[in-house]
């Protein structure tokens, strides 16, 4: 489904906001399903993106399990004598955290269905200064660049015959700390090259910029915007009445 970047930004803001303010696992599950459905309608290939987010997903799972083990309350599910390891309250708390973070990730994936140029044009149409819109686009662009810099140094280490998987945890952390500095320096070098490139093209040479394309909201965009605001507002009001808001 082809939509305006401003419409997608509104969807991201509404879904992320609802994920933050909702505290009940039932409502979080509903928001999660809606976020997944929105990505499916926009054509986002979630299955293709998930392998690139293994580390983030593993951190979310680890924190969820840790919260399930540390939060006590409700009926005990796993206990030895008087020591409770897992309770219903802990499982609910860990599940809520996992759902909340999953919704935030799914909301951010909505932006993948839009090119960086379209996203910049959408931010400019929202009266955001071009410099800030360009900075946001460059920041998103350099996140995978930093990942590639770090991966290249890990591959160089593997080519020298070092098996990182067999190393102890303390040695892994030490190696990662050693690789962090060259990865950061490589990213800084790339950022300097980018700065020289955009300056040579006359970036900020004129106070007012023009654009070849002019984004216009279509009737479908207005329909989605009105529907999103109505559903998000109504759902937030319903949760407030039920006492399921932060």
Per-position pLDDT tens, the chain of length 246: 678 888 888 999 999 999 999 888 899 999 999 999 998 888 887 888 777 777 778 888 888 888 777 777 777 767 677 776 677 778 888 888 899 999 988 888 887 777 777 777 888 888 888 778 777 777 766 666 777 777 777 787 777 777 777 777 777 777 777 777 777 787 788 888 888 888 888 777 777 777 777 788 888 889 999 999 999 999 999 988 888 776
- Are 50 and 86 part of one and the same domain? yes
Task: Tell me how far apart the alpha carbons of residues 245 and 33 are, in angstroms, rounded to a whole number.
Answer: 19
- Are 204 and 145 part of one and the same domain? yes
Boundaries of domain holding 29: 1-114+216-246
- Are 205 and 233 part of one and the same domain? no
- Are 101 and 157 part of one and the same domain? no
pTM: 0.74
In the chain, the number of structural domains is 2
- Are 174 and 210 part of one and the same domain? yes
Task: Tell me how far apart the alpha carbons of residues 191 and 185 are, in angstroms, rounded to a whole number.
Answer: 10
Residue 21 corresponds to which tokens in the numbers above?
């303010």
- Are 92 and 122 part of one and the same domain? no
- Are 189 and 108 part of one and the same domain? no
- Are 49 and 98 part of one and the same domain? yes
Hey, which residues does 78 pair with through a beta bridge?
Answer: 86
């Amino acid at each position: 489904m082809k939509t305006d970047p401003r419409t997608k930004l509104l969807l991201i803001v509404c879904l992320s906001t609802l994920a933050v303010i909702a505290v009940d696992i039932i409502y979080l599950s509903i928001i999660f399903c809606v976020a997944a459905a929105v990505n499916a309608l926009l054509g986002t290939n979630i299955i293709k993106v998930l392998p690139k987010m293994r580390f983030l997903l593993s951190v979310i799972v680890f924190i969820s399990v840790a919260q399930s083990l540390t939060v006590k309350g409700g009926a005990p599910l796993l206990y030895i004598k008087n020591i409770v390891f897992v309770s219903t309250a802990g499982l609910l708390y860990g599940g809520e955290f996992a759902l909340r973070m999953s919704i935030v990730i799914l909301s951010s994936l909505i932006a993948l269905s839009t090119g960086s140029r379209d996203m910049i044009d959408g931010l400019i149409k929202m009266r955001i200064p071009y410099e800030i819109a360009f900075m946001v686009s460059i920041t998103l662009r350099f996140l995978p660049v930093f990942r590639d810099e770090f991966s290249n140094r890990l591959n160089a280490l593997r080519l020298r015959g070092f098996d990182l998987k067999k190393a102890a945890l303390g040695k892994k952390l030490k190696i990662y700390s050693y690789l962090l500095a060259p990865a950061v320096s490589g990213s800084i070098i790339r950022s300097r090259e980018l700065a020289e490139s955009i300056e040579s093209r006359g970036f900020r040479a004129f106070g007012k910029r023009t654009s070849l394309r002019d984004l216009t909201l279509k009737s479908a965009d207005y329909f989605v915007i009105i529907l999103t605001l109505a559903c998000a507002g109504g759902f937030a009001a319903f949760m407030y009445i039920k006492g399921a808001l932060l």
